[in-house]
Structure 1
Amino acid sequence: MATDEHLARSRAVWDRKSDRYGMSERDFEPIRETAMDYLELGAGDRVLDVGCGPGVNFERLRSDVGESGSVVAVDYSPEMVANARERVDRHGWENVEVLCADATEVDPDGEFDAAMASLSMAVMPDARRAVENVYRLLAPGGTFVVFDLRRVQTGPARVFNPLLWRFLRWYANWNPENDVLEALRTVSDETDVVETYAAGVGYTVRCRKRPDSGE
């Protein structure tokens, strides 16, 4: 029931914010762009955008994979999905598909060369299950890059963690029970924190699946 309640609240929160995402898109654009650099996509690749929101990553991802590649995106908010699909239609991107689904259960046909999650894993009711599912969908040798937020980890700034938790809970339905980094380290074969921001509250992680993985 707790999972169902969190999903329902997330859907309500992000449906409500679906038409007011411009500031978040602009403010985090440099960080998202750097995160996408770590995907190391090439022409013809297939990439999964997890928690895609209104499609802020689509233009860059599509540019990296080219006409011969494809982008599959998933989000749980119907209004976010509607906005993402409108963006796809407006640009005429025939190789971008947007799915309205739970990241822990989504099951597109085929494997992915890479996956991206920006500011989405920490708001999910069960990050570990979502990570496991994304890892399952990756082809051997595939890369999963996550940009997200967490509590201040060390130093005197930790005194602000209760306030940070309340704000993120109100603003984004952030789930404090999630330890996204631990989930990534537990599930993936290779996990590296490659960027940190604002005393480590923001971070980007690159994970790789072994080329010979039998998962």
Structure 2
Amino acid sequence: MASRTSNATAEGEPTDSTPDDDHLERSRRMWDRWSDYYRLSERDFEPMREAAIDELGLESGDRVLDVGCGPGVNFERIRHDVGGDGTVVAVDYSPEMVEKARDRIDRHGWDNVEVRRADATTVEFEERFDAAVATLSMSVMPDVREAVENVHRHLGPGAPLAVIDIGPVPEGPARIANPFLRRFLRWYANWNPDGDVPASVAAVFAESELVDRFFLETCYTIIARKADVGGD
């Protein structure tokens, strides 16, 4: 696991902090606080998560990366698709979320699911992945483009990425609510107002398609795919 190249302690408390460090620390505090209530989001978003994972076309034996896994809401479905010969590796920065994700693994006895506490923008892995999923996580990264690039680096040629995320109302009269929505998302989830998830994914991946919108079009699903040739 990599650590950020900043002056942050192992406990996540910044010393001589950068803006990205400050964002990470706010995220840690917020998601530690909300970790006990994430089951509400888990239930509400389940149909969208299931549909997004369907789009990955996972097969038995695949190795899958779960970015910003929270308490492990995607584990059971992904593990069902990849089987006992597959591998699920998950990353989250919140210690409380990581603890709950590991508790879920222990309760089910899943020996091929691993959770790391790490910053998704800098974490490193020795092996590449056959697919990746990020549900309600990319838009809270300290640097959205950097997080997308790091996921892209760790995918094999032709590997897909499924993203479910949230943002302002894209068009229509309801856009009048966007200033309030931005402030709410910043308060509730440490949403990054400077990040643009759809644009970042489209810029980094060879293919990127916004396949669905829901919840008054504030939430969306993106399916992207790395180029099928070349190793980078």
TM (norm. structure 1) is 0.98
Match of 1:147 in 2: 164
Structure 2 Cα separation of the partners of residues 200 and 189 of structure 1: 25
Do structure 1's residue 175 and structure 2's residue 195 form an aligned pair? Answer: no
Q: Residue type of the partner of 1:204?
A: T
User: Any idea what the Cα deviations from partners look like across 1:114-141, whole Å, max 9, x if unmatched?
Assistant: 0000000001110100000000000001
Do structure 1's residue 53 and structure 2's residue 70 form an aligned pair? Answer: yes
| Runs of 4+ deviating beyond 3 Å | none
Q: Residue type of the partner of 1:120?
A: S
Match of 2:229 in 1: 212
Structure 2 Cα separation of the partners of residues 104 and 174 of structure 1: 15
Match of 1:184 in 2: 201
How far off its partner does 1:159 sit?
A: 0.1
How far off its partner does 1:153 sit?
A: 1.1
How far off its partner does 1:109 sit?
A: 1.8
Match of 1:80 in 2: 97
Q: CA RMSD in A?
A: 0.8
User: Any idea what the Cα deviations from partners look like across 1:28-63, whole Å, max 9, x if unmatched?
Assistant: 111111111111101010000000000000000000
Match of 2:217 in 1: 200
User: Any idea what the Cα deviations from partners look like across 1:70-115, whole Å, max 9, x if unmatched?
Assistant: 1000000011001100100110000000000000111122010000
Q: For structure 2, which runs of at least 5 residues remain unmatched after alignment?
A: 1-17
How many aligned residue pairs are there? Answer: 215
Match of 1:44, SS state, is: coil
Match of 1:89 in 2: 106
Match of 1:38, SS state, is: helix
How far off its partner does 1:214 sit?
A: 2.9
How far off its partner does 1:166 sit?
A: 1.4
Structure 1 Cα separation of the partners of residues 75 and 126 of structure 2: 20
User: Any idea what the Cα deviations from partners look like across 1:161-204, whole Å, max 9, x if unmatched?
Assistant: 01111111111111111101111011110001111113421110
TM (norm. structure 2) is 0.91
Counterparts of 1:10-89 in structure 2, within 5 Å, are: 10-89=27-106
Match of 1:104, SS state, is: coil
Q: Residue type of the partner of 1:53?
A: G
Q: Residue type of the partner of 2:22?
A: E
Q: For structure 1, which runs of at least 5 residues remain unmatched after alignment?
A: none
